[in-house]
Amino acid sequence: MNDFNRRRLLAGLLAAGGGALATPHVFAQDAAQRRNLLETMTFAVPSFQLGVASGDPSADGFVIWTRLAPEPLQPGGGMVMAPVEVRWEVAEDAAFRTIAASGTAVAHPELAHSVHVELAGLRPDRPYWYRFRCGGERSLAGRAQTLPQAGARKDRLRFAAAGCQHYEEGHYTAWRRIAEEPVDFVYHYGDYIYEGRDTGSATRLMNGRPFTPMRQHVGQEIYSLDDYRRRYALYKGDPDLQAAHAAAPWFVSFDDHEVDNNWAAGLDQDGSPPEVFAFRRAAAMQAWYEHMPVRRSSMPVGGSVQMFRRATFGDLMDMHVLDTRQYRSPLGNGGRNGPMNDDFLSPQRTMLGDRQEEWLFTGLAQGTARWQLIAQQVMLMQLAVQPAGGGEMTYSADQWSGYLHGRERLLNHIADRGLTNVMTVSGDAHRHFAGDVLRNGGEGPPVTAEFLATSITSGSDGVGLDDPYHRSVAGNECLKAIIDRRGYVLCDVGRDTFRGELKVLDQVMRPDGELSTFATLVAEHGRPGLQRG
């Protein structure tokens, strides 16, 4: 008997009969009618190894998440293949003296024994603490927070925007620092995992410089549901990442690497037949749902996820979280960056798809909060990049510059309605970029502004100010700050100002890199564009 099977047996079960159980939550038919439910079990090894998380807060609740995985990297996470009962409780204080809600959830093997409890009926604009219990074990506690009621007076909000956390390329120190920030929430722009294979421990070139992986992926490039689950388990085992999840509720989205580099709707980057790629995408979406603190409304159906959604923070801010992957047209120019061309400019091509675009435009036009925040994945600024060897300016095929007609529609909508309170956050580019967003390749006044958050680790230490890329983008007057370091953007939203601090770490290849603020930029309410703060 191998170690895995022995421990599975040790994770022995004391199945009890059915019986009426506490509050069903996410699944209407859950605990009360199950015939194969394990109400009691014991674990030979700790089962809450992937931490806890909360997300998608509203004024009266949020989602709390965990996953039972005594052996996270083994098939099935080392769990017995049966539905298992998990107790949960939500308290008004960190010591759990005043319990606000409690109940029983079922961790389903179909969902990798993840648990998503969708709370409702809580009080607005206050912190709560939560934890889980199963098999005589208790998880660590997490802290969540409800939002203010729509329209209620709110004077200040703080949040971190972050993403791109390649496991091999550095310590998650930035997550540890975010856990220590007094934020109301975290916005994750995507690239929570990377799909590539273990590339070995040897030193290689990355961005033209020698790089030795700090730690390694397990296995080959990921395609199957088991592959994706194991990749999430590997990443979520990191204690700094777990600390950031436990510290505040997150609004998560996804970008490309949750599935495959530069995928677009039904197409991958490799030219696989769409009907074949559909299986991979469905597996990736299921694993994403299983590991993210998102609502039931984001559970995949037929390989698709309802990811674009809105949150309202009293009268201070509305946040429109976009999905720039599932509905976009195929990348133009064969997916290659290049000079502006008919593909990039084609009115037939879309970044958001008609339904999402209409949803966003309506939401922006009808929003009554002081600020309207568009939280999305890829650069909205239209950066012209001078190739190192000279020649024509080039544009990214994967970012909004590759979907210029859709970009103009969005910017025209904002400008033509006189919306002077729109801000945007994004990521993906593995540097901090902060700047103004202008129409028609740079004409007229700024329409909005963008904080593009650098990566948590992707790109490793970075080169700081000694960055040859600065020369390539020097002609872009819209760009107010750029730096190749790892970190996050800390946003501080007041009634009159929207302030972004570009947080950077001096290095991530050793633990405990030193955090500093590279630049602070501020937008004034009613006056689109960034000023140095």
| Part of the chain binding Fe ion (CB under 5 A), chosen from 11-19, 49-57, 189-197, 325-333 | 189-197
Query: Minimal distance in Å, beta carbon 261 to Fe ion?
Result: 9
- One symbol per residue from 279 to 308: x for binding Fe ion (CB under 5 A), - otherwise; what is it? ------------------------------
Q: Contact, 190 vs 258, CB < 8 A?
A: yes
SS3 (DSSP) at 405: helix
* Smaller CB separation from Fe ion, 326 or 458: 458
Query: Minimal distance in Å, beta carbon 192 to Fe ion?
Result: 10
* Smaller CB separation from Fe ion, 129 or 254: 254
Q: What is the DSSP string of 228-285?
A: HHHHHHHHHT-HHHHHHHHHS-EEE---STTTSTT-BTTB-TT---HHHHHHHHHHHH
Q: For strand 84-91 and strand 127-134, is the pairing parallel, antiparallel, or unpaired?
A: antiparallel
Q: Does 165 bind Fe ion (CB under 5 A)?
A: no
Beta-carbon neighbour count of residue 522 at 10 Å? 18
* Smaller CB separation from Fe ion, 191 or 290: 191
Query: Minimal distance in Å, beta carbon 65 to Fe ion?
Result: 23
- One symbol per residue from 472 to 491: x for binding Fe ion (CB under 5 A), - otherwise; what is it? --------------------
* Smaller CB separation from Fe ion, 197 or 417: 197
- One symbol per residue from 362 to 401: x for binding Fe ion (CB under 5 A), - otherwise; what is it? ----------------------------------------
Query: Minimal distance in Å, beta carbon 166 to Fe ion?
Result: 7
* Smaller CB separation from Fe ion, 130 or 194: 194
| Part of the chain binding Fe ion (CB under 5 A), chosen from 188-196, 269-277, 286-294, 333-341 | 188-196
* Smaller CB separation from Fe ion, 161 or 523: 161
For residues 19 and 244, give the distance between their C-alpha atoms in angstroms, rounded to a whole number: 38
Q: Does 164 bind Fe ion (CB under 5 A)?
A: yes
Query: Which ranges in 377-519 belong to alpha helices (H)?
Result: 404-416, 469-472
* Smaller CB separation from Fe ion, 352 or 429: 429
Cα torsion 183, 188, 189, 193: sign: positive
Half-sphere exposure of 92 (CA within 13 A, CB side): 8
Tokens 């950066």 — which residue?
383
Cα torsion 340, 341, 346, 351: sign: negative
* Smaller CB separation from Fe ion, 39 or 191: 191
Query: Minimal distance in Å, beta carbon 455 to Fe ion?
Result: 6
| Part of the chain binding Fe ion (CB under 5 A), chosen from 159-167, 206-214, 237-245, 267-275 | 159-167
Query: Minimal distance in Å, beta carbon 264 to Fe ion?
Result: 16
AA identity, residue 443: E
How many helices (H) and strands (E) the chain has is answered by: 10, 26
For residues 443 and 449, give the distance between their C-alpha atoms in angstroms, rounded to a whole number: 14
* Smaller CB separation from Fe ion, 214 or 311: 214
Task: Kindly state the number of chain residues that form the binding site for Fe ion, as judged by CB under 5 A.
Answer: 3
Q: Does 191 bind Fe ion (CB under 5 A)?
A: yes
Chain positions 421 to 460 lying near Fe ion, rule: CB under 5 A, are 458
Query: Minimal distance in Å, beta carbon 168 to Fe ion?
Result: 13
Beta-carbon neighbour count of residue 197 at 10 Å? 13
Sheet holding 185-188: strands in order across?
114-118, 63-67, 52-55, 250-252, 185-188, 156-162, 486-494, 497-505, 515-524, 527-532
Residues that bind Fe ion (CB under 5 A): 164, 191, 458
